[in-house]
Amino acid sequence: LGKFKAKVIEVARKTKTVGQEDPRRIIHSLKVGLAITLVSLFYYFEPLYDGFGVSAMWAVLTVVVVFEFTVGATLGRGLNRGLATLLAGALGFGAHHLASLSGEKGEPILLGLFVFLLAAAVTFVRFFPRMKARYDYGLLIFILTFCLISVSGYRDDEVLDMAQRRLSTILIGSATSVLICIFIRPVWAGDILHNLVANNMEKLGIFLEGFSAEYFKTSEDGQSNHDKSFLKGYKRVLSSKNSEKSMANLARWEPCHGRFRFRHPWKQYLEIGTLTRQCAYKIEALNSYLNSEIQMPIKMRSKIQDPCTKIISEAGQTLNELANAIKTMTRPSSVDSHIENSKTAADNLKALLHTGLFEETDLLEIIPAAAVASLLIHIVTCTEKISEAVQE
Decide if residue 115 touches a copy of itself (CB under 8 A).
yes
Secondary structure (H, E, C), 263-287: CCCHHHHHHHHHHHHHHHHHHHHHH
Q: Which is nearer to a copy of itself, 117 or 256 (CB)?
A: 117
Task: Kindly state whether residue 385 participates in binding a copy of itself, applying the rule CB under 8 A.
Answer: no
Burial of 117 from C-beta contacts in 10 A (0-12 / 13-18 / 19+):
exposed
Judged by beta carbon, residue 84 or residue 323, the one nearer a copy of itself is 84
Binders of a copy of itself among residues 7 to 26 (CB under 8 A) are 14-15, 18-19, 22, 25-26
Per CB under 8 A, 93 contacts a copy of itself: no
Report if residue 100 touches a copy of itself, rule: CB under 8 A: no
If the CB atoms of residues 286 and 325 are measured against a copy of itself, the closer one turns out to be 286
Buried (b) or exposed (e) across 360-390, using 16+ Cβ within 10 A? eeeeebbebbebbbebbbbbbebbbebbebb
Using CB under 8 A as the binding rule, whether residue 386 contacts a copy of itself is answered as no
Residues 131-190, interacting with a copy of itself (CB under 8 A)? 140, 143-144, 147-148, 151-152, 154-156
Residue 86 CA: distances (Å) to CA of 51, 89, 94, 119, 177: 20, 5, 12, 17, 18
In whole angstroms, the minimum distance from the beta carbon of 134 to a copy of itself comes to 16
3-state SS, residue 252? coil
According to the binding rule CB under 8 A, does residue 43 interact with a copy of itself? yes
* Interface pick for a copy of itself out of 187, 358, 383, 384 (rule CB under 8 A): 358
Q: Which of residues 215-254 bind a copy of itself (CB under 8 A)?
A: 238-239, 241-242
**Triad 19, 21, 24: Cα angle to 5°:** 60
User: x/- string (CB under 8 A) for a copy of itself, residues 268-287?
Assistant: -------------xx-xx--
The one-letter code for the residue type at 11 is V
Q: Do the Cβ atoms of 216 and 305 come closer than 8 Å?
A: yes
